[in-house]
Amino acid sequence: MTQVFELIMLICFGLSWPISVYKSLTSRSIQGKSLAFMIAIIIGYICGILGKIIGGELNYVITLYLLNLFFVSMDLVLYFINRKHNKIHHK
């Protein structure tokens, strides 16, 4: 039952990341983005993945950890691309 709640939590958190990536791609802005927040989320997902591996709980839930980690990492990369773009175009 705990895995079901963990799965629901990961789905709820995970729904926002593709939207955030889309916003980063279309706006080409870092407005409203927090570097510290994204890094904290990435660390959290990595710890969740390591917890699953160390605990021997390699199940379907780890797929959502990896998917969420992918999208947050993608948003982080876009953050740096957009920050560079903003600096060049707003001098």
What ranges do the domains of the chain cover?
Answer: 57-91
Q: Which pLDDT value is given to residue 90?
A: 67
Tens place of pLDDT for every residue, the chain, 91 residues? 888 899 899 999 899 999 999 999 999 999 999 999 999 999 999 999 999 999 998 888 899 999 999 999 999 999 999 999 888 876 6
Q: Which pLDDT value is given to residue 21?
A: 94
Burial 56-70 (b: 16+ CB within 10 A, else e): eeeeebbebbebbbe
For the entire predicted model, the pTM comes to 0.87
H helices of the chain, where? 2-27, 35-54, 61-89
Tokens encoding 2: 């705990």
